[in-house]
Amino acid sequence: MSYMKNISLYCEDDDMEGLVEFLHNHGDNSMRSSINMAAGFMIAHNEMRNKRDDDAYKVLNNIHDKLQEEEE
């Protein structure tokens, strides 16, 4: 499973704690860096989902939906 799929799933589930732990355990990141990265991913993901009807975000939302549905 790709890291982006994992990140996308944590964001979709609004699981900040799980995302921080994942980023901390799967990289050379300090806990502080993992928290900052997780916050950035969450903000970006929520913005993408909130703007799903905007033309600029439709394709991106479709990509994320397909990524989350892919078999492992």
Cβ 42 vs Cβ 14: under 8 Å = yes
H or E stretch at 49 = helix 31-50
pLDDT, tens digit only, all 72 positions of the chain: 478 889 989 999 999 999 999 999 998 889 999 999 999 999 999 999 999 999 889 888 888 888 888 755
Domain that holds residue 48: 3-69
Domain count, the chain: 1
Give the global pTM.
0.82
